Amino acid sequence: MTPYRLRAAALALALGGLGLACDSEEAFPNIDELDQLRSLHTQTRTPPKDGTNRVDGVERAAKLGDLLFHDEKLSRCGTVSCQSCHGGEGRTVDTPTAEGCGGQRTVRNPPTVLNVAYNRWFMWDGRADRLWNQAVLPLTNPVEMNSDATVVAARLGAPEYRTEYQALFGKFPEEEAGPTLLTNVGKVLAAYERTLVRIDAPFDEDVKRFIAAAEAGKAEDDPAYLGLKTFVRKGQCVVCHKGPALSDDLFHNIGVKDSSAGAGGQWAALESLLDWEFNAASPYSDAPSGTDAGRLKTLRTQAKQEEMEGAFRTPSLRNVALTAPYMHNGEQATLEDVVDFYNKGGDPAGSFTGRRTDTIVKLDLSDEEKQALVALLKSMTGVVR
């Protein structure tokens, strides 16, 4: 961007942040909004390769990972697999929380694992920094699979797993140290999850067509006009739900009701990530001094309580129609409810921790705008390839 464009964009952002509707007379989309729209529909085909996982992208690993993802015997109770909470079309559950070993409930709503390998951070609070180390958390979480290295080693000793494991990692499961075994199982699961790609939605075609219409001076005639205008301008959704994944992959406090122990969001999870024996800078990473480890250093030096307290990761909106209920607490049952949530400027002050970001304000959407926004969200469902 030229300095002038940069200033114009900063100004637009500042005005937007204050919720001033001073540009509401201006024709939609203006030049900056057109750029924002252009950024939405160009998804990189395959997820970026994870240098910290030596079996990422290896077909044999993905196949083993598929079997393990569906294997209930990896849990101590013998009845819960990854698939138990990440199944169905939306690869999640249709209740606010999910059931783990012994009928226990998770604290939060399970995010989908569709397109998860495009993410930079994992979990609502970002307490995992790589897809493979994330997998260790549900495996060992007492309310989820309640497992450990001993249970996992016993299961991996099965003939159908044992030789595959050895072919990938050079040792048999029973020869491996516990933490190495757990993280290698995580790497195999991640190799499988990388294949769960569902992009290419009607939304992408609509945005392309709308851009062409806008360039021809006919934006208002396009059926996607009101939905996109509300998403980009009045609703400010694109401030956070941007780029091809419809997420900035950052954390924001948008004011979602929460009185659980994890209500502090990213701030509450920060220490455990930085000190975690399995993070991207740990000896279990296959690139412990690579860029992913570097990100942790940056996080450590730049962490600000004021910004991180009560902040949760912006979820991708791709396939969002398949993953109800919504938000980290699962409190919004439908997309209509989500739009109402934003329309009233989030949950009431005092019902969540920290300070709500300035971008979230009352929106005063008309019924037409609300409906157009919901239709837009529904158009983000990708086709199965």
Min CB(2)–ligand HEC separation in Å: 27
**For residue 150, which amino acid is it?**
T
Q: 75 with 145: CB under 8 angstroms? A: yes
The correct pick among 133, 134, 146, 184 for binding ligand HEC (CB under 6 A) is: 134
Q: Is 152 in the site for ligand HEC (CB under 6 A)?
A: no
Alpha carbons within 13 angstroms on the beta-carbon side of residue 190 total 31
Q: Is 82 in the site for ligand HEC (CB under 6 A)?
A: yes
Q: Is 85 in the site for ligand HEC (CB under 6 A)?
A: yes
Q: Is 239 in the site for ligand HEC (CB under 6 A)?
A: yes
Per CB under 6 A, which region of 1-9, 33-41, 282-290, 323-331 contacts ligand HEC? 323-331
The correct pick among 373, 380, 381, 382 for binding ligand HEC (CB under 6 A) is: 373
Would you state the structure tokens that stand for residue 302, as one six-digit string?
A: 């730049």
Biggest distance spanned by C-alpha atoms of the chain: 69
Q: Is 327 in the site for ligand HEC (CB under 6 A)?
A: yes
With a CB cutoff of 8 Å and minimum separation 6, the contacts of 206 are: 223, 224, 228, 379
The DSSP line for 305-366 is: HHHHTTBEE----TTGGGS-SBSTT--B-SHHHHHHHHHTTSSPTTSSSS---TT-------
For the window 300-319, what string marks contact with ligand HEC as x by the rule CB under 6 A? ------------x-xx-x--
The correct pick among 108, 198, 318, 370 for binding ligand HEC (CB under 6 A) is: 108
Q: Is 146 in the site for ligand HEC (CB under 6 A)?
A: no
**For residue 384, which amino acid is it?**
V
Q: Is 98 in the site for ligand HEC (CB under 6 A)?
A: yes
Per CB under 6 A, which region of 36-44, 278-286, 287-295, 335-343 contacts ligand HEC? 335-343
Min CB(357)–ligand HEC separation in Å: 5
Residue 326, beta-bridge partner list: 332
- Measured from the CB atom, the residue of 207 and 240 that comes closer to ligand HEC is 240
Closest by CA position to 374, among listed 237, 245, 252, 255: 237
- For residues 187, 250, 379, 214, the Cα torsion angle rounded to the nearest 10 degrees is -130
Residue 105, beta-bridge partner list: 99
Instruction: Please classify residue 67 by burial: count the beta carbons closer than 10 Å to its beta carbon, then call 0-12 exposed, 13-18 middle and 19+ buried.
Output: middle
Per CB under 6 A, which region of 15-23, 42-50, 252-260, 273-281 contacts ligand HEC? 252-260
- Measured from the CB atom, the residue of 54 and 155 that comes closer to ligand HEC is 155
Residues that bind ligand HEC (CB under 6 A): 80, 82, 84-86, 98, 100, 106, 108, 110-111, 113, 116, 119, 122-125, 131, 134-135, 138-139, 144-145, 189, 235-237, 239-241, 252, 254, 256, 312, 314-315, 317, 320, 323, 326-328, 338-339, 342, 357, 359-360, 373, 377
